[in-house]
Structure 1
Amino acid sequence: MKKGKATIHDIAEKLNITASTVSRALNDNPRISENTKKLVMKMAKQLNYQPNHIASALRSGKSKLIGVLVPTANRNFFSSVVRGIEDIANELDYKVIISQSYEDYEKEVQNVEALLNARVDGIIASIGKNTENFDHFQKVLDKGIPLVLFDRITNEIDVSQVIIDDYQGAYDTTKHLIEQGCKRIVHFTSPKKINIYRERLRGYEDALKDNKIEIDPELIEESNMQLEDGRTCMENIIKKGIPFDAVFSSSDYAVMGALQVLREHKIIVPNQVKLAGFGNEPFTSFTFPPITTVDQKSIPMGRVTAETFFELLKSDGKRGNNQKTVLKPELIIRESTQKRN
């Protein structure tokens, strides 16, 4: 055998059978005897044979691969969504290729191109914070390849979407804080043009209006919603001497930063200031006090996204079959918004 990757021709030569027989055996063709299949699989293992998915896709029109593009895979939310996607994909004998944009537009464009070059049967994606041009996703649609967006979406292209009701999650959280006696509620949001932050800000503002509480622009802090941003936003509010009795952050990471700063300033949570986040990251249940947050139903979102994808795949990605699914969020009330006796 020549140096390099083993091929079906190498297996065929070793077993003295045809390459077409090897191919059928590897694909579990019923025309091939069980004994031949076992011999082929054994030899494939010995030669460390790896199937060429691109060649297979060119022959069959299907690669049995799904490209999943996320901003980052090290967040519990995105990793849990991927798990939900894989639950459904594995049941249907599909494999998932995970790609990360790291919130970088150019990286996102390159990753979409790489997934297309890998002949994936379709793409599932969540848009990066810095993405404002969607030509790369339109290209996927123009090729007739199924595309489903989840969580971070855009309405600038006609595409299937799966989201939670960010507006309702924020409205319910703000209403809960008001019911706890809060009237000066700080809100952490993002200046980025992302649907999730727009909807969460809208939910916060509408809850205030419906409870006849004036919206104070000084209580709204914009940032990139990371832990350090939460620290900076909280320090800004405290240094300005702006009175507040609660913080509702559109990100659990930013609210964790706020909690750190409040502790450093000897401000007691929840007796003096109540805290609520969004995302139900695992650490929110282990902080002191545990943080009230919104559960985004990440695993169910992944499963519904995959189901939506496979429905599209059945219809060959035809635009008329696009659909928008909105999942109901759940407010998880913990000690950070409940006054201790």
Structure 2
Amino acid sequence: MCKRLSKYRKKLGTKKKTTIKDIANVLGITPSAVSRALSNHSRISDKTKIAVRQVAENLNYQPNHLATALRTGKSNLVGVIIPRNNSSFFSSVVENIEKVLNKEGYNIIITQSYESYEKECNNIDSLLYTQVDGVIASMANETKDLSFYEKIKSKGVPLVLFDRGEDDLNVDYVGIDDYLSSFNVVEHLYAQNCRRIAHIAGFSHTRIYENRIKGYRDALKKFDLPIEESLIIESNLSMEDGREVMKQLLDLPEMPDAVFAAGDYAALGALQVLLENDIKVPEEIALVGFSNESFTYYGKPAITSINQHSEKIGKLAAEAFLNRIKNPTKKVSLNKINLKAELIVRASSNKIKK
């Protein structure tokens, strides 16, 4: 076998890719036997499996997932779409999706929308072309048209949404109770003697941000605080957005005494502007973010935020996909999970220390 392997290495020097047929020729077995060995088929002996894997490694064989999917109808790949990977929330969700799926023999392909609808559509097309067995996604802020997500469903590919999802799609969803989380933030700020609470909001066409705005508004009503539209500003919730919105709020005839940002990056941008203007946080303006990003507890002051339980969301989203893929013909009821989030109080809003 060593001579045959050496011969094939020389032969493959001018060839672009090693194929299953090349491995079969080295071992003197059929290509179908190699294919079954690589997929860990029960009818192939352990001795043959070991030999096939050794030759495959020596010849730098790379499996063609697309060809496998076209041949078998299964790629063992799951597409994951996230807005961005520089968020500890999304990276934690992805990590836990991967942990669960790897145990079941699946690998993941991670794509980022960068909050762009056009990029998200391109990602979906690429994943469908790759013949993924399922898609787990969190929508871009720009997304209003759901036709590309409907396209996933029309292909019979299981779709699970997490964090950002739309009820109109009628698919499995895992997230938190955004309404209650937002309500609890305002309740906390009210308890800190804040009476003019601004909201740096996400775009209200996205369900989670619509729910956060509604929770904010309803909490103000409960405590008989006025709802001022000038204190509610929608944005992409980037750090730069947080800076720009905070500047707008400081230019108002009467400044707010608290700011609730629907995302931690926007909260960080707002904090930078407050500190640059020598405004004491929380004494003059209290600040709360959302998502419990790692930087929220390292800064000065540390930022109060909402813990979204990213680990649980990742695991439950992966399990929802597995439940679909393991029951292709059985009618499985929709799984809509809204976890109760946790408000973590830190220095940026803790005006009345107990």
Q: Tell me the TM-score normalised to structure 1 length.
A: 0.95
User: In the alignment, which of 135, 138, 149 is matched to residue 123 of structure 1?
Assistant: 135
The answer (yes or no) to whether the contact 1:158–1:319 under 8 Å persists in 2 is: no
Deviations 1:31-53 (A, max 9, x none): 32322222211111110011121
Which residue, out of 223, 227, 230, partners 1:211? 223
Aligned to 1:333: 345
Structure 1 counterpart of 2:35, which letter?
Answer: S
Structure 1 CA distance for aligned equivalents of residues 207 and 50 of structure 2: 52
Q: Distance in 2 between matches of 1:313 and 1:111?
A: 21
Deviations 1:74-127 (A, max 9, x none): 211111110111111011111001111112212211111111111111111111
1:134 equivalent in structure 2: 146
Equivalent pair of 1:295/1:332 in contact (CA under 8 Å): yes
Kept in 1, the 8 Å contact 2:241–2:269? The answer is: yes
Q: Report which stretch shifted further, 258-267 or 315-324.
A: 315-324
- The equivalent residue for 2:197 is 185
Q: Give SS of 1:205's match.
A: helix
* Correspondence for 1:101 among 103, 107, 113: 113
Contact 1:277 1:292 (8 Å CA) reproduced: yes
Question: How many equivalent pairs are there?
Answer: 341
Aligned match for 1:170, one of 172, 182, 195: 182
Partner of 1:89: 101
SS in 2 for 1:73: coil
- Could you tell me whether the CA contact under 8 Å between 2:81 and 2:137 is conserved in 1? yes
Q: Distance in 2 between matches of 1:215 and 1:317?
A: 50
Quick check: 52-61 or 270-279, which moved more? 52-61
Please give the per-residue CA displacement for 1:199-251, whole angstroms capped at 9, x wherever unaligned: 11111111111112121222222222111111111111212232321111111
> In structure 1, what residue type is equivalent to 2:170?
D
Deviation at 1:318, TM superposition (A): 7.0
Please say if 1:5 is aligned against 2:17: yes
C-alpha distance 255-335 of structure 1, shift in aligned 2 (>3 A): same
Structure with higher RCO (Cα < 8 A, 6+ apart): 1
Tell me how large the CA RMSD over aligned residues is. 1.7
Report the equivalent of 2:164. 152
Q: Is 1:274 the equivalent of 2:286?
A: yes
Q: How does 1:305-320 map to 2 (within 5 A)?
A: 305-316=317-328
Asked if the contact 2:176/2:340 (under 8 Å) is kept, the reply is yes
Query: Aligned pair 1:161/2:184, yes or no?
Result: no
Q: Equivalents in 2 of 1:218, 1:108: separation in Å?
A: 32
Report the residue type matching 1:259 in the other structure. L
Report the Cα offset of residue 192 of structure 1: 4.9
Structure 1, 291-300 or 150-159: larger mean CA deviation: 150-159
Q: Helix, strand or coil: the match of 2:96?
A: helix
2:42 corresponds in structure 1 to 30
CA displacement, residues 232-288 of structure 1 (integer Å, 9 cap, x when unaligned): 111112122323211111111111111111112211111121111111010000111
Runs of 4+ residues over 6 Å off in structure 1:
none
Q: Is the counterpart of residue 43 in structure 1 residue 74 in structure 2?
A: no
Provide structure 2 residue ranges, at least 5 long, that are not aligned to the other structure.
1-10
Instruction: Give the fraction of aligned pairs with identical amino acids, expressed as a percent.
Output: 47
Structure 2 CA distance, aligned partners of 1:67 and 1:222?
Answer: 30
Rounded to whole Å, the distance in 1 between the matches of 2:243 and 2:190 is 23
Flag the 1:27–1:222 CA change in 2: closer, same or farther, 3 A. closer
1:220 matched residue in structure 2: 232
What is the letter of the counterpart of residue 230 of structure 2?
Answer: E
Does the residue aligned with 2:53 lie in a helix, a strand or coil? helix
Q: Is the 8 A contact 1:312 1:321 kept in 2?
A: no
Pairing 1:68–2:72 present: no
CA distance in 1, matches of 2:192, 2:204: 30
Unaligned runs of 5+ in 1: none
1:153-172 CA-to-partner distances (Å, cap 9, x unmatched) read: 11222211112111111111
- Asked whether the 8 Å contact 2:141–2:203 carries over to 1, the reply is no
TM-score, normalised via structure 2 length:
0.92
Q: Decide whether the 8 Å contact of 2:192 with 2:352 is kept in 1.
A: no
Where 1:58 maps in the other structure, the secondary structure is helix
